Structure 1
Amino acid sequence: MKKPQRDITLRFLAEPQDVNFGGKVHGGAVMKWIDLAAYACSAGWSGRYCVTAYAGGIRFVAPIHVGSLVEVEAKVIYTGTSSMHIALEVTACDPKSLNRRITTHCIVIMVAVDETGQKIEIPKWVPETDADIKQHDTAVRLMEMRKQIGEEMEIFVK
């Protein structure tokens, strides 16, 4: 059996239709690119169709200008039975200089599903390096925080 693919990088050119009224790439376009990379990463790991279950902690650190070369790096940092926590980092640069700068980062949770839309078991990811262990442990802590946030958010749900 082929080893699952843990990470992927997607590249885009920021086009005029991606720009908001302020002249920068709008957050919705960046979030779309993030979702595409999270899907490609999770499908590569699981070998299955995957759906987005959660996107959070998104931080827009710096603007992206039209014409920029954008890279969205995605990697698995935790696996459950059917879910994968994907860490994403977006960088951008002028394609002539290739002087990259981080613009956005977040965590997305994807779930592998079968043909009927039911959750399906995926390969387990085991951290190997110190950096992997640190990211894995952070993902576990974030799960606990999301539970607390979810409980607090119940007030807004009818």
Structure 2
Amino acid sequence: MSSGQREVTLRFLAEPGDVNFGGKVHGGAVMKWIDLAAYACAAGWSGKYCITVYAGGIRFVQPIHVGNLVEVGAKVIFTGKTSMHIAIDVQASDPKTLDNRLTTHCIVIMVAVDEQGKPTSIPEWIPVTEEDRQLHDSAVKLMNMRKQIGEEMEAHVKYLKK
């Protein structure tokens, strides 16, 4: 059963093991954090085990440095019958100043599954505030764009298989 928890924030310090060859936190570590936050958010909303089916539009805006306090915020912005669109914002700051700056943002789509791994129904999220309605409308626009991109990619896959 859903707890109705629509959003979650994970907080932790960026560690030396997260660094790339350039001395900044590498994108793979950030993507892992995004996936963890998306799962926690989706599971909190649906009350079920959830899997990642899409992560897109990932924008790395600013680097994250070792020792930064990292906050990964995740919020449900659209629900289907079994899926949840989760907006993710990653922010970082020096823990001494706590002056957060946006470092990364994206959309992740999670699907709730049953014990056999089959998609299962979830509670509907209904936007209430104007900001919620804008986020919901944005998710719908992105779904339509992903469909078009998927059709174009399918043409490429068919061509490459020849």
TM-score (norm 2): 0.95
In the other structure, the counterpart of 2:112 is: 112
- Moved >3 Å (runs of 4+): none
Query: Does the alignment pair 1:27 with 2:20?
Result: no
Q: 1:38 to 1:155 in 2, by over 3 A?
A: same
1:2 to partner: Cα distance: 6.5
Segments of 5+ residues of structure 1 without an aligned counterpart are none
SS in 2 for 1:87: strand
Q: 1:17 to 1:3 in 2, by over 3 A?
A: closer
The aligned runs of 1:1-150 (5 Å cut-off) are 3-150=3-150
Q: Deviations over 1:32-91 (max 9, x none)?
A: 000000000000000000000000000000000000000000000000000000000000
Give the root-mean-square deviation of aligned CA atoms: 1.1
Contact 2:3 2:46 in 1 (8 A): no
Amino acid at match of 1:16: P
Structure 2: distance between partners of 1:144 and 1:108: 15
Contact 2:5 2:44 in 1 (8 A): yes
Amino acid at match of 1:35: D
Structure 2: distance between partners of 1:102 and 1:27: 14
1:154 to partner: Cα distance: 1.3
1:156 to partner: Cα distance: 3.9
Structure 1: distance between partners of 2:102 and 2:14: 15
- Count of aligned positions: 158
1:155 to partner: Cα distance: 3.5
1:3 to partner: Cα distance: 4.3
Contact 2:2 2:44 in 1 (8 A): no
Q: 1:34 to 1:75 in 2, by over 3 A?
A: same
Q: Percent identity?
A: 73
Structure 1: distance between partners of 2:98 and 2:4: 30
